[in-house]
Amino acid sequence: MKQPNDPAQKVIVMDFGAQYGQLIARRIRDLKVYSEIVPCDISAAELSALSPSAIILSGGPASVYAQDAPRIDADIFNLGIPVLGFCYGQQIMAVTLGGNVAHTEVGEYGPAPLTRAGDSQLFEGTPTNQTVWMSHRDAVSSAPVGFTVTSSTDVCAIASMEDPSRALYATQFHPEVAHTEYGTDMLHNFLYEICGLEPTWDMEDIIENQVTAIRQQVGDDRVILALSGGVDSAVAAALVHRAIGNQLTCVFVNHGMMRKGEPESIEQVFARGFGIPLITVDAQDRYLGLLAGITDPEQKRKIIGSEFWKVFFEEAVRIGGAEAAQQGECRVRWLVQGTIYPDIIESGARKTGGKASTIKSHHNLIPVPEGVHFDLIEPLDHFFKDEVRALGSALGLPDEIVYRQPFPGPGLAIRIIGEITREKLAILKEADAIVRAEIDADNPGLFEQTGIRDSARSVWQYFAVLPDVLSVGVMGDERTYAHPIILRAVESSDAMTADWARLPYDLLALISSRIVAEVPGVNRVCYDITSKPPATIEWE
Ligand code: XMP
């Protein structure tokens, strides 16, 4: 679909090392300018076709002279588009344009005192002496002809350089990192003073534009969306509903593996709150039947995933009308997917901005049955996770949905180790509800999704796990032989690594005593104190 956010004004971040690009793009968007990330091997012609207003070269872990170090198409510097390079971005700019890079005697890691030299529009309004964030071993030893050096540190003689006549700017330090005292001012100067951009990436405008674009695209057609309970599909539903009202039907497949209260909350928010036509399919028995006797986690995942789409498409065909259903056809034309921008970046699908390959690759993941065809709407495919949340809040979704913890698609099925039974599900749901309630009550706001924020780590997920063992206990005068509950709470910023959360002892004690007292069938609570790696966040 033509995105309203494919504007004339767009900053392209060339990514020289996976973890940097997203942070830079987020910072630029925080300054209300739309930004996209592309891999660093993009050619000048491909880049030019994206019509960027400015280009940013990210940092990266390589050494510019290493054999397999990422290069840059030198013609990019001749496009007449302003370029700003950070760290590796400065070094690659230097060597490509005839300067040199060398090993510094000592590396420079962390905060460093910087001194400005001369006038620079990039540093406009910032003091002569300031703190910047460095992370490098190599540094530019001679700037290319035409460049002037605009700052230095004790270790790094060329901490920044520029050739304003060609609108080329670079810093050895990282302005995108919060520890660079005036980093935001520098980005602001680059976007607004040097490139002359306007603040156009604004949530209210974005909603307006998206609503118009969805209306134009859909016309009078009918649209269907699978609500999973997760943030992305919820926000996509609220947005599409804002655009086309009752032309949208949502389907929620209740597989019985969600946390306590979640199916009810979906009904409450979407059907009663928003008034969205919502079809809830109670598939709990169907799933329990399919999962009976299954102990292998991957098989559980596969069954739940494939059955979900089966149930969903049965409904889609039914919604299409009895007549169409008889012919095995589906009259609903559009399927909304809650694909978000990091999904696109990670799948590497949009190197040149071409949408076709993206749609194909995502569509391929959905097992669309024979005779059924959908066109896809992906209204969130330009948004980062925290922008999706902001959009959700602006559309009136409650915090319990907008700030929901990451939750695996197969849900509690992979938190019950071994076979899933009705009894075990009931135990886990009750215990998990206590874990959530007590951690939330102990520290409102404890759970805060940090997304790609650079430094902060906070509690990322907290939940209960039901292992496949029984242990002996004593309750009153009776000996018991019952289930333990494992409590898992981790801090993380991206789920790639995680550390177990140092929850207060009193809180742990309260959770433990409540679970044992209130959940029949449980006589013991253990706390998982393993980090990832070597463990994973989930138990299966
Ligand atoms: P692990 O256990 O691999 O989890 O450390 C990392 C993150 O991924 C989530 N997770 C899943 N999400 N389907 C999902 O949609 C799954 O099968 C799945 N397994 C793990 C997990 O909750 C954590 O946030």
Mean pLDDT of 336-349: 82
| φ/ψ (deg, to 5) at 197 | -80, 170
**Domains defined along the chain, listed by start:** 10-194 (3.40.50.880), 203-402 (3.40.50.620), 421-527 (3.30.300.10)
Which atom belonging to ligand 1 lies closest to the Cα atom of 301? 17
Instruction: Single out the catalytic residue among 36, 108, 162, 176.
Output: 176
Pocket test for ligand 1, best of 537, 539, 540 (most atoms within 8 A of CB): 537
Residue nearest to atom 9 of ligand 1 (CA): 408
Q: Is 174 a catalytic residue?
A: yes
Distance 538 CA to ligand 1 centre (A): 6
As for ligand 1, residues whose beta carbon falls within 6 Å of it are: 301, 406, 408-410, 461, 495, 532, 536-538
State the pLDDT at residue 327.
59
Residue nearest to atom 10 of ligand 1 (CA): 408
Residue 323 reports pLDDT greater than 60 = no
State the pLDDT at residue 448.
47
Residue nearest to atom 17 of ligand 1 (CA): 408
Residue nearest to atom 11 of ligand 1 (CA): 408
CA 415 to CA 134: how far, in whole Å?
A: 42
State the pLDDT at residue 105.
80
Residue nearest to atom 3 of ligand 1 (CA): 536
Collapsing DSSP states into helix, strand and coil, what is residue 107? strand
Which atom belonging to ligand 1 lies closest to the Cα atom of 461? 24
CA 265 to CA 269: how far, in whole Å?
A: 6
Q: Is 87 a catalytic residue?
A: yes
Collapsing DSSP states into helix, strand and coil, what is residue 356? helix
Distance 257 CA to ligand 1 centre (A): 15
The top-scoring range by mean pLDDT among 40-44, 312-316, 372-376 is 40-44
Distance 410 CA to ligand 1 centre (A): 9
Whether the CB-CB separation of 497 and 532 falls below 8 Å is answered with yes
Instruction: Single out the catalytic residue among 174, 255, 362, 382.
Output: 174
Token code pair at residue 300 = 């559980």
Residue 372 reports pLDDT greater than 70 = yes
Whether the CB-CB separation of 145 and 152 falls below 8 Å is answered with no
Q: In three state form, how does the secondary structure of 426-450 look?
A: HHHHHHHHHHHHHHHHHCCCCECCC
State the pLDDT at residue 212.
95
Residue 368 reports pLDDT greater than 80 = no
Task: Return the minimum-mean-pLDDT range out of 209-218, 420-429, 432-441, 453-462.
Answer: 453-462
pLDDT level of residue 48 (50, 70, 90 thresholds): very high
Residue 89 reports pLDDT greater than 60 = yes
Instruction: Single out the catalytic residue among 40, 87, 250, 330.
Output: 87
Mean pLDDT of 513-528: 98
pLDDT tens, residue by residue, 14-29: 999 866 788 899 999 9
Of 527, 431, 532, nearest to 488 by C-alpha is 527
Residue 94 reports pLDDT greater than 80 = yes
Which atom belonging to ligand 1 lies closest to the Cα atom of 409? 15
State the pLDDT at residue 215.
96
CA 444 to CA 456: how far, in whole Å?
A: 17
Token code pair at residue 393 = 């809040």
State the pLDDT at residue 294.
97
Q: Is 323 a catalytic residue?
A: no
Distance 42 CA to ligand 1 centre (A): 32
pLDDT tens, residue by residue, 477-497: 899 999 999 999 999 877 888
Residue 537 reports pLDDT greater than 70 = yes
Residue nearest to atom 7 of ligand 1 (CA): 495
pLDDT tens, residue by residue, 195-216: 999 999 988 888 999 999 999 9
DSSP 28: H
State the pLDDT at residue 353.
39
pLDDT tens, residue by residue, 447-478: 444 333 333 446 889 999 999 999 999 988 89
Q: Which stretches within 219-320 are classed as H helix?
A: 231-244, 262-266, 284-291, 297-319
Distance 291 CA to ligand 1 centre (A): 19
Distance 408 CA to ligand 1 centre (A): 5
Distance 494 CA to ligand 1 centre (A): 11
Sequence-ordered list of residues with C-beta below 8 angstroms from that of 404, at least 6 positions apart, any chain: 229, 230, 231
pLDDT tens, residue by residue, 128-144: 999 999 999 899 999 99
